[in-house]
A and B are shown apart, each in its own frame.
Chain A
Amino acid sequence: DARVTQTPRDKVTEMGQEVTMRCQPILGHNTVFWYRQTMMQGLELLAYFRNRAPLDDSGMPKDRFSAEMPDATLATLKIQPSEPRDSAVYFCASGLGQGVLNTEAFFGQGTRLTVV
C-alpha cells in the first residue's frame, strides 16, 4: 500500500531549537510538496520539488527555513531557529508532475509541531 510517510508525527520543542521534519515520498513520484496548515492561514505551500530540484520555495521564510531532497526517497524541511509562530501541522505530499492531469497530491499524515 503506497503512501507518503512523514516523521515525526508530533514534535514539541523549545524556541530557538532546530527542527527537522522528514518525508518519504511514494516510490516513483517525481514531485514533492511541503505545506504548512494552521487554522488562520489554511494550507500554505512552502516548497515544491520536481525531480529533486527546488522549483518554487517562495512561500518559505528563507531566513530560518530550508528544504532539501538529498535523494529521491527523502525530503527534509528544517527550521533553525524555531519560533512559537512556527507551530502548525506540516504536510508533505508527492505526485507525478508530468502534466495537469497528474498533479494529484498524495499527502502524508503530517508532523504536528509545537514550539514553546
Chain B
Amino acid sequence: TQLLEQSPQFLSIQEGENLTVYCNSSSVFSSLQWYRQEPGEGPVLLVTVVTGGEVKKLKRLTFQFGDARKDSSLHITAAQPGDTGLYLCAGTREQTGANNLFFGTGTRLTVIP
C-alpha cells in the first residue's frame, strides 16, 4: 500500500492545454514536495509546501497544499513539450525526529507538440 497516491497515473495532452495532477494520502504530512524526473536521471525538486492551504507558483506551475496537509495538487497552465516527464509528490510525515521522505506513485505526463 502506497502512502501517497497520485492521479492520474498517465496523462497525454496537446501543447497549450491546462492540466492538474493530484497527490492524496490519509496521513498528515509536515511538508510536501513535488519533483520532476526525466529519463535516465534522478528526480529534481520543483517546490516544497509546508503550511496547510499554502499556494506556490513557479512560472506556469501552481502548487497547492491541502488545508489538512493530507493532499496536494499541481496545476500546469499552457503545457509545453518541455514539461514532459514523471511528476512525483513526496512527503515528510509528522513524526518526531524523522525526516523520511516517501514518494508518491507518480504521474507520467506527455505533452504533444
Tally of A interface residues using CB under 8 Å = 27
Q: Is the CB of B40 within 8 A of A42?
A: no
Kindly state whether residue A12 has any CB partner on chain B within 8 Å.
no
Q: Which residue numbers of A lie inside 8 Å of B, CB to CB?
A: 4, 31, 33, 35, 42-45, 48, 50, 55-56, 91, 93, 95, 97, 100-110
Kindly state whether residue B31 has any CB partner on chain A within 8 Å.
yes
Which residues of the other chain, B, contact A33 by a CB distance below 8 angstroms? 101
Bound Cα distance from A44 to B48, whole angstroms: 20
Given known contacts A42-B106, A91-B42, A110-B42, is B101 in contact with A105 (CB within 8 Å)?
A: yes
Known: A45-B103, A104-B45, A109-B41. 13 other contacts (CB 8 A): A42-B104, A43-B43, A48-B99, A56-B98, A91-B42, A101-B48, A102-B99, A103-B48, A103-B99, A105-B90, A107-B41, A107-B42, A108-B42
Which residues of the other chain, A, contact B104 by a CB distance below 8 angstroms? 42
Which residues of the other chain, A, contact B48 by a CB distance below 8 angstroms? 101, 103-104
